[in-house]
Structure 1
Amino acid sequence: MPTRPGIDWARAQALHKRELASFSAKNPRSQALAMRAAEHMLFGVPLHWMSDWATPFSLSVSHASGAQVVDIDGHQYVDFCLGDTGAMFGHAPPPVARALAHQAVRGYTTMLPGEDAVWVAEELSRRFGLPVWQFALSASDANRFVLRWLRAATKRPKIVVFNGCYHGTVDDVFVDMVDGAPRQRDSLLGQVTDLTVNTIVVEFNDLPALEAALANRDVACVLAEPVMTNIGMVLPEPGYWDSAQEILRRYGSLLVLDETHTISSGMGGYTKQHGLQPDALVLGKPLGGGVACAAYGFSLDLAKRVEQAKRLAPPGHSGVGTTLSANMLSMAAMRANLSEVMTEAAYAQMFSLADYLASGLRRVIGRQDLPWCVTQIGARSEFQFSKRAPSNGSAAALILDSELEQIIHLFLLNRGMMITPFHNMMLVCPQTQRTDIDAFLAVFEDCLIQLKARQQE
């Protein structure tokens, strides 16, 4: 494997076997609960993604607070996963808990607006610069709704996405580039429509390919994370987004930025930090402190075009929105989170901690002489199995190594350190302590030593 220079793979496999046995021995209650769950839940978990952890059976959680998770066997973990960004500002933030408790006796959903929704829309406009907003229950739904609105507003059928992208469970984006040609992702279950008819895929950071994709003027929008985060981390090259935005304007296509993960960049996300000017913006799970919610914003011009498209459409269901969109619990959570949790002070604390973590990772990797790199945007860090950070999705895919990842992740978990089960992403929250990071780095280095060193027979 190109990802394994310096790794003794036979030793790594032996280590993995020991770690699996150790996990099973230490977690009898989780194992018993997993056996019960297998009787009544698909794959034995509430969501099949929960079976993607490196564990031989699902680890069940008792409770979580701040940067800590406690499982039902009583083991405590320092959490650098944070719900894969859903709890980016810590588990159970007290202001959100108070808002939920207050709203819980005042109603959950009425399919009518309240003051919280207006306050949240005003605050999102202030932070992100887009004046008009709508709400959903997940970033997947928000992305799906935005694509519908933009196709209706532009009367253009096609979209452009980047190779290796991820925007939740939106079917349209499950198209990859294979040997230079678009191909529907084999992993997409139950889809009978040929997505390649209306989805064009290009490599991130490739401006000529982007221009070629837009040349026929039939592309409604480009849907992108400003930094790719779900195939490892892929940063834009200097000047890329400035040039890409100019190309989009030239061909009349719109830019939709999915900031569900890159909101780790700051109060206004990567968009505000780097002066980008999208036509639409999608925000997801961090907005409500982990409560199901999402939001999407439009420029004033686009909002007018969207409203006009709806008014001119025949009567009936638009296919956009659900009866629980903007429910009162979600709106109360978002208002509390935006006003009291997602603050400038919280971001400053997280950035300092993330810098400390990323520097420590580089030191450990350097001491162990492994050809790996560390990438960071704001509060999000990732170590990747290559000397240099990849520049596009194809390069990022080549350095993914799920077997090696699972060994490292399980080793960490068995010693009270939790990172995201997909690739090697880590987050810090305001409650993370430098001592937590020091402890993590010590365990991480111990793991690398054991992966590399050869024991005497």
Structure 2
Amino acid sequence: MIDRDRLGALLRRERAAFADRNPRSAQEYAKATHLFGRVPMTWMNKNAAGFPLYLAKARGATLTDVDGHDYTDFCLGDTAAMAGHASEIVAGAVQHQFKDGACAMLPTPDAAWVGEELTRRFGVSQWSFALTATDANRWAIRLLRAVTGRPKILFNSYCYHGSVDESLIVVKDGRAGEREGNVGAPCDVTVTSRVAEYNDLEGLDRELAHGDVAAVVMEPALTNIGIVLPEPGYLEGVRELTRKYGTYLLNDETHTFSAGPGGATARWGLQPDVVTIGKAIGGGIPAAAYGISQEIAQKLDDMKDLDLVDMGGVGGTLAGNALSIAATRATLEHVLTGEAFARMEALASRFAEGVQRVIDTHGLPWSVSQLGARAEYRFASPAPRTGTESANAADADLEDYLHVYLANRGILLTPFHNMALMSPATTAAQVDEHTQKFGTAISELQRA
């Protein structure tokens, strides 16, 4: 239903307009010759226009670039700023702590409060801290291998758990294989990992039956390949199978935290053995955590040959630093509260309903998926049910057109897919503005 020639012409038009309206960002990008890829981190080159916007400031749900343009920010740092940019409460806590020291390699009283609050929200009882969800996952995996004596970890095809080596595995033509583009893999990923499609209990059963899987590491709903929601009974089946085969279950709530104050774990009544979470809990300051059950903690404590204090491969000097912990306490205690999540989810529903009206008006075979405060439109109907189906539903040019079109009109989506996240500072007017401009973008695309 998409005229590809017209799509190509519109994409070229919008990219040219982007270059014309953002000369300072283009200049900054051009002169950054001593940065690998010209950006602080290479994923910043994931943009639809040829070069990234450069940040001047961000407050609440609004971002301003160096050319002076304001944007409604539905990206929110790909979840890192889900509390809103520069929350006054978090900024105050960070400034207060920084004046009193940030990195002393000593605990602060705030850490115990955060651990208790994370237990209240997610259930598991013993917590430790990291700076990124990648490290939280990596360290939790090491602990689970140690406590089980099993070598392999099982992941869902096209999952996302940061840059954890073991997770870069997919199903290819019914068999396990390395995810395309994997950089510098230390070994064939099938040596360390097993894989099953999300929503496929038969495939999970078959892989766990080998008896060598220490843990299933999964998002309760896939997100980074596009939102893929669980079918009825699937998550209950995962828990049943992991218990059957003596395998631990780790829920990575870094993105599914959008489901509510206790993430999908609390919302759907899940019972994982381990929970990892990152990004959003620090309110913009690098922070992450992993929590383990009392049973796992006791087993680890009983293994006296493990070096959990010095060079055992778990932990980092800056993990659990006073600044990150102060930011996490302020975020959880005062910003990402139950009341805030209720407002955020209502706005995400408003966003999804507006997009669905546009889709229905134009008779597009697309769909909308929502996970609490997060919503996304997909170029498939019904929405994909596995990671592989979700990957196959991608349309790079169509996605780029919508991203650049909206950016040129003051709206930013998450660079990966067509995902929008709500913050406590997001307004109904901002959501409605997206609906209107999204509708205009589709009308232009379908104009004869």
TM-score bracket relative to the smaller structure: over 0.9
SS in 2 for 1:312: coil
The CA deviation at 1:316 is: 5.6
- The CA deviation at 1:176 is 1.0
State the partner residue of 1:65. Answer: 59
SS of the residue corresponding to residue 314 of structure 2 reads: coil
- Listed as ranges, the matches of 1:357-376 within 5 Å are 357-376=351-370
Corresponding letter in the other structure for 2:159: C
Measure, in 2, the Cα distance between the counterparts of 1:267 and 1:31.
39
* 1:22 alignment partner in structure 2: 17
**CA distance, structure 2, for counterparts of residue 316 and residue 16 of structure 1:** 53
What is the correspondence of 1:295-334 to structure 2 with a 5 Å cutoff? 295-309=289-303, 311-313=304-306, 317-334=311-328
CA distance in 1, matches of 2:12, 2:385: 34
Structure 1 contact 50–58 (Cα < 8 Å) conserved: yes
Give the aligned residue type for 1:28. Answer: P
Once residues 56 and 272 of structure 1 are traced to their aligned partners in structure 2, the CA distance between those partners, rounded to angstroms, is 40
Counterparts of 1:19-418 in structure 2, within 5 Å, are 19-37=14-32, 39-309=33-303, 311-313=304-306, 317-418=311-412
1:64 partner SS = strand
Q: CA deviation at 1:403?
A: 1.7
Structure 2 counterpart of 1:418, one-letter code: L
CA distance in 1, matches of 2:50, 2:246: 51
Contact kept? 1:8, 1:453, Cα under 8 Å: no
Question: Structure 1: 5+ residue runs without aligned partners?
Answer: 1-5
Distance across 2 between alignment mates of 1:241 and 1:32: 49
Contact 2:8 2:397 in 1 (8 A): no
Deviations 1:76-124 (A, max 9, x none): 0000110001111211111100001101110111111110111111111
User: 1-side partners of 2:441 and 2:253: how far apart?
Assistant: 33
Tell whether the 8 Å contact from 1:150 to 1:306 is kept in structure 2 after alignment: no
The answer on whether the counterparts of 2:153 and 2:216 sit within 8 Å (CA) in structure 1 is: yes
User: What's the CA shift string for 1:190-226, capped at 9, x where partnerless?
Assistant: 1231120120011111111111111122110000000
Per-residue deviation, residues 290-344 of structure 1 (Å, max 9, x unmatched): 21010010111011122233x2236961111100000111000001101100111
Q: What whole-Å deviation, never above 9, does each CA across 1:22-63 have from its counterpart, x for those lacking one?
A: 1111111111111111x1101110011111111222210100
TM-score, with length taken from structure 2 = 0.98
Does the CA-based 8 Å contact 2:335-2:424 persist in structure 1?
no
Say if 2:417 is the partner of 1:423.
yes
Is contact 1:9–1:451 with CA below 8 Å preserved after alignment? no
- Counterparts of 1:170 and 1:359 in 2: how far apart (Å)? 36
Residues of 2 paired with 1:343 and 1:57: CA distance? 36
Q: Distance in 2 between matches of 1:240 and 1:313?
A: 35
Across the two proteins, how many residue pairs are aligned to each other?
A: 447
Equivalent residue of 2:400, what SS?
Answer: helix
Q: Distance in 2 between matches of 1:34 and 1:441?
A: 31
| Counterpart residue identity of residue 437, structure 1 | V
The residue number in structure 2 matching 1:3 is none
Question: Residue 231 of structure 1 contacts residue 397 of structure 1 at CA under 8 Å; is this kept in 2?
Answer: yes
SS at match of 1:390: coil
Match of 2:417, SS?
coil
Amino acid paired to 2:389: A
Q: Tell me the amino acid that sits aligned with residue 180 of structure 1.
A: G
RMSD: 1.1
Taking the aligned partners of 1:40 and 1:10, their CA distance within structure 2 comes to: 38
Partner of 1:11 in structure 2? 6
Distance (whole Å) between structure 1 residues aligned to residue 72 and residue 301 of structure 2: 46
CA distance in 2, matches of 1:306, 1:185: 32
SS in 2 for 1:25: helix
CA distance in 2, matches of 1:403, 1:361: 19
TM value normalised by structure 1: 0.96
Return the letter of the residue paired with 1:33. E
Instruction: Indicate yes or no: 2:441 matched with 1:447.
Output: yes
Counterpart AA for 1:29 = R
Contact 2:152–2:213 under 8 Å retained in 1: yes
How far 1:20 moved relative to its partner?
Answer: 1.0
Q: Distance in 2 between matches of 1:283 and 1:424?
A: 23
Cα separation, partners in 2 of 1:368 and 1:297, compared to 1, 3 Å:
same
